[in-house]
Amino acid sequence: MSASTRDGPVMAWRRRNPVLGFIMAQPLGAAGLVVILVMAAAAIFANVVAPYDPEAIDFLAMLSPPSMEHPLGADAFGRDILTRIIYGARTALTIGFLSSFLGCTIGGLLGVTSAYFGGRVDLILQRFVDIVLSFPIIVLALVVVAVVGHRPIMGIDLNLIAAISIPIMPRAARVIRSAALAVRAMPYVDAARAGGYTHSHIILRHMAPNVLAPYLILLTAYIAQAILLEASLSFLGLGVSEPKPAWGLMLSGDSSNFYQEAPWMILFPGLAISLAVFAFNLFGDSLRDWLDPKFRT
Amino acid sequence: MLAYAARRIALMIPTLLGVALITFFMLRVVPGDIVEVKMRSDGGYVTQELLASERARLGLDRPLVTQFGDWMQGLVTLDLGTSMWTGRPVAEEIGVRIGLTVQVALMAAVIAVLIAVPLGTISALFRDTWIDYVARIFTIAGLAVPSFWLGMLIILGLLTVFHWSPPVTYTPFFESPLKNISQLIWPALAVGYRYAAVVARMVRSSIIEVMKEDYIRTARAKGVFERMVVARHAMRNALLPAITVIGLEFAFLIGGLVVTEQVFNLNGIGRLFVEAVSRSDFILVQALVMLLAVVFVSMNLIVDMLYGVLDPRVRHG
What is the ipTM, given to two decimal places?
A: 0.85
Contact at CB, B205 and A237, closer than 8 angstroms: no
Structure pTM? 0.87
What is the tens place of the pLDDT at every residue in B198-212? 999 889 988 888 888
pLDDT of amino acid B5: 80
Asked, for residue A39, whether it belongs to a domain, the answer is: no
pLDDT at position A67 is 79
Sign of CA dihedral A183, A187, A188, A192: positive
Query: Which DSSP string do the residues of A144-180 spell out, in sequence order?
Result: HHHHH-SS-BTTB-HHHHHHHHHHHHHHHHHHHHHHH
A77 part of a folded domain: no
Smallest CA–CA distance from A283 into chain B, residue: B140
> Hey, which residues 220-249 in chain B have their CB within 8 Å of chain A?
none
Backbone angles phi and psi of B82, in degrees to 5: -115, 135
- Which chain A residue's Cα is nearest to B124? A297
Distance from CA of B255 to the nearest CA of A (A): 6
- Using a CB–CB cutoff of 8 Å, tell me whether B278 touches chain A: yes
Categorize the per-residue pLDDT at B3 as very low, low, confident or very high, splitting at 50, 70 and 90.
confident
- Residue A83 in any domain: the answer is no
Residue in B306, B244, B282, B290 with CA at minimum distance from that of residue B12: B290
Type and span of the H or E element at B130: helix B130-144
B69 and B134 together in one domain: no
For residue A3, what pLDDT is reported?
43
Mean pLDDT of the region B122-127: 88
Please indicate whether, in this complex, the C-beta atoms of B292 and A237 are within 8 angstroms of each other: no
Q: Inform me whether the C-beta atom of residue B276 falls under 8 Å from chain A C-beta atoms.
A: yes
Count of the separate structural domains present in chain A: 1
Looking at the fold, whether B169 and B206 belong to one and the same domain comes out as yes
Cα–Cα distance list, B157 to A52, A72, B141, B153, B171 (Å)? 30, 19, 19, 6, 22
Residues B108 and B240 reside in one and the same domain: yes
Q: Which residues contact A3 (CB under 8 A, 6 or more apart)?
A: none
Single-letter amino acid code for the residue at A279? A
- pLDDT tens for each residue of A190-202: 999 999 999 999 9
Close Cβ partners of A146 (under 8 Å, ≥ 6 residues apart): B27, B276, B277, B280, B282, B285
- Distance between CA atoms of residues A53 and A40, nearest Å: 19
- Which segments of chain B are extended strands (E)? none
> Which residues in B lie closer than 8 A to residue A136 (C-beta atoms)?
251-252, 254-255, 292, 296
Number of structural domains, chain B? 2
- Report the distance separating Cα A235 and Cα A219, nearest Å: 24
Neighbours of A133 (CB within 10 A): 17
Is B15 part of any domain?
Answer: no
Nearest CA in chain A to B12: A131
Q: Within the 85-114 window of chain B, which residues sit less than 8 Å (CB to CB) from chain A?
A: none
* Same-domain pairing of B265 and B159: yes
The answer to whether residue A41 is domain-embedded is no
Amino acid A13: pLDDT: 60
pLDDT at B56 over 60: yes
Domain check: are B39 and B111 in the same one? no
Helices A212-235, A81-117: axis angle to 10 degrees equals 140
**Domain presence at residue A59:** no
Per-residue DSSP letter, A196: T
B250 touching A (Cβ < 8 Å): no
Q: At what angle do helices B2-26 and A119-133 cross, to 10 degrees?
A: 80
Q: CA Rg, chain B, in Å?
A: 24
Last residue of a domain, one of B79, B113, B140: B79
Q: Buried b / exposed e across B31-58, counting CB within 10 Å, b at 16+? A: eebbbebbeeeeeeeeeeeebeebbeeb
CB-based contact (8 Å) between A262 and chain B?
no
Of A6-15, A81-90, B300-309, least confident by mean pLDDT is: A6-15
Same domain, B39 and B135: no
Which of B45, B79, B113 finishes a domain?
A: B79
Residues B223 and B299 in one domain: yes
Let me know whether B207 and B266 are in one domain: yes
State whether B98 and B158 are in the same domain.
yes
CA gyration radius for chain A? 22
Whole-Å CA distances, A204 to A113, A180, A197, B280, B285:
9, 12, 11, 39, 38
State the sign of the Cα–Cα–Cα–Cα dihedral A66, A68, A70, A76.
Answer: negative
* Domain housing A95: 90-297
Distance between CA atoms of residues B199 and B193, nearest Å: 10
Q: What's the rounded Cα separation, in Å, for the pair A257 and A241?
A: 19
Share of chain B above pLDDT 70, in %: 91
- Residues A114-158 pLDDT 10s: 999 988 999 999 988 988 888 888 888 988 888 887 666 666 788
Look up the CATH number of the domain holding residue B282: 1.10.3720.10
CA angle B278, B284, B289 (to 5 degrees): 95
Q: Write the DSSP string, B287-313.
A: HHHHHHHHHHHHHHHHHHHHHHHH-GG
* Minimal C-alpha gap between A135 and chain B (Å): 6
H helix intervals, chain A: 2-16, 18-25, 27-44, 46-49, 81-117, 119-133, 137-148, 158-184, 187-194, 199-201, 212-235, 247-251, 264-291
CA distance A228 to chain B (A): 7
Helix (H, G, I), strand (E, B) or coil at B281: coil
- In this structure, what are the phi and psi dihedrals at residue B83, rounded to the nearest 5 degrees? -60, 135
Residues B225 and B303 in one domain: yes
Let me know if residue A96 belongs to a domain.
Answer: yes
Residue B166's domain comprises 90-316
* CB burial of residue B164 (10 Å; 0-12, 13-18, 19+): middle
**Residue B25 domain-assigned?**
no
Q: Chain-wide mean pLDDT for chain A? A: 84
User: How is B37-102 classified by DSSP, letter by letter?
Assistant: HHHHTT-S---HHHHHHHHHHHTTTS-HHHHHHHHHHHHHTT---B-TTT-SBHHHHHHHHHHHHH
Name the CA dihedral angle for A73, A76, A77, A80, rounded to a multiple of 10 degrees: -20
User: Do B146 and A232 count as a contact with CB atoms less than 8 A apart?
Assistant: yes
B155 → chain A, closest CA residue = A259
A263 located within any domain: yes
B124: contact with A, CB 8 A cutoff: no
CA B216 → CA B210, B238, B264, B299, B316, distances in Å?
A: 8, 12, 46, 31, 27
Q: Output the pLDDT for position A5.
A: 44
In a domain, A129, yes or no: yes
Higher pLDDT, A193 or B28: A193
A-B C-beta contacts closer than 8 Å: 127
Top mean pLDDT of A173-187, A250-264, B303-317 is at A173-187
User: Which of B140, B282, B297 is nearest residue A134 as measured by Cβ atoms?
Assistant: B297
Chain-centroid distance of CA A130 in Å reads 23
Question: What is the percentage of chain B residues whose pLDDT exceeds 90?
Answer: 12
**Same domain for B96 and B42:** no
Q: Output A95 or B234, whichever has higher pLDDT.
A: A95
Q: Where is B243: in which H helix or E strand?
A: helix B235-263
Q: Are B287 and B88 in contact (CB under 8 A)?
A: no
Q: In this structure, are B273 and B149 located in the same domain?
A: yes
User: Cα-flanking dihedrals φ and ψ of residue B256, to 5°?
Assistant: -65, -35
Q: Determine the average pLDDT of the residues in A161-181.
A: 93
% chain A with pLDDT above 90: 40
What CATH number is associated with residue A169? 1.10.3720.10
Residue B112 lies in a domain: yes
